[in-house]
């Protein structure tokens, strides 16, 4: 690894872009992710920006129990994110399907079958502080040995 690359890896830890995708949740996790932006929790102080653009994201937040509408689309969206990248599953639905995982439902959990998931945040829904803690815990793991391809 070149010196330039290692400096870049250190600097990029302070500027994390997060893309949020709802793959069939009840919206409860979505509003808790939105609440992270509030001045009380202030996710911006850690250099984290939440938006919905996969092309410039580093971390993908997935909520929901994977509905059939996302069958091919979530994989395409994951491939659009440039390396280095990580996916974090928010809530119980991406892990197990939660209350929706019953006979007759259309869902196909867990999300880790479809894209590689680095971390899970349990809760129905998890609190904003837990979501911020999960993102912050992943940041040092994404960048340490990343080597850009020429």
Binding positions for another protein, rule: CB under 8 A = 19, 21-32, 34-35, 37-40, 51-54, 64-65, 67-70, 73, 77, 98-100, 102-107, 124-125, 127
User: How far apart are CB 10 and another protein at their closest, in Å?
Assistant: 29
Beta strands in the chain (DSSP E): 16-22, 48-51, 59-63, 86-90, 119-121
Q: Which residue in 141, 120, 128 sits closest to 29, CA to CA?
A: 128
Residue 126 DSSP symbol: P
> Which is nearer to another protein, 96 or 105 (by Cβ)?
105
> Which is nearer to another protein, 74 or 143 (by Cβ)?
74
**Is omega for the bond preceding 125 within 30 degrees of 0, making it cis?**
yes
User: How far apart are CB 115 and another protein at their closest, in Å?
Assistant: 14
User: How far apart are CB 135 and another protein at their closest, in Å?
Assistant: 18
> Which is nearer to another protein, 9 or 94 (by Cβ)?
94
Cα separation, 82 vs 42, in Å, equals 26
Neighbours of 19 (CB within 10 A): 24
User: How far apart are CB 140 and another protein at their closest, in Å?
Assistant: 27
């Amino acid at each position: 690894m070149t010196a330039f690359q290692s400096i870049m890896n250190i600097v990029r830890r302070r500027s994390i872009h997060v893309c949020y995708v709802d793959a069939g949740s009840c919206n409860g996790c979505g509003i808790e992710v939105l609440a992270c932006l509030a001045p009380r929790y202030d996710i911006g102080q850690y250099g984290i920006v939440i938006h919905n653009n996969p092309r410039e994201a580093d971390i993908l937040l997935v909520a929901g129990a994977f509905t059939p509408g996302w069958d091919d689309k979530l994989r395409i969206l994951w491939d659009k994110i440039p390396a280095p990248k990580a996916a974090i599953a928010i809530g119980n639905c991406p892990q197990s399907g939660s209350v929706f995982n019953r006979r007759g439902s259309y869902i196909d959990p867990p999300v880790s079958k479809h894209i590689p998931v680095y971390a899970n945040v349990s809760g129905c829904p998890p609190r904003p502080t837990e979501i911020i803690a999960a993102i912050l815990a992943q940041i040092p793991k994404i960048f340490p040995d990343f080597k850009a391809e020429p």
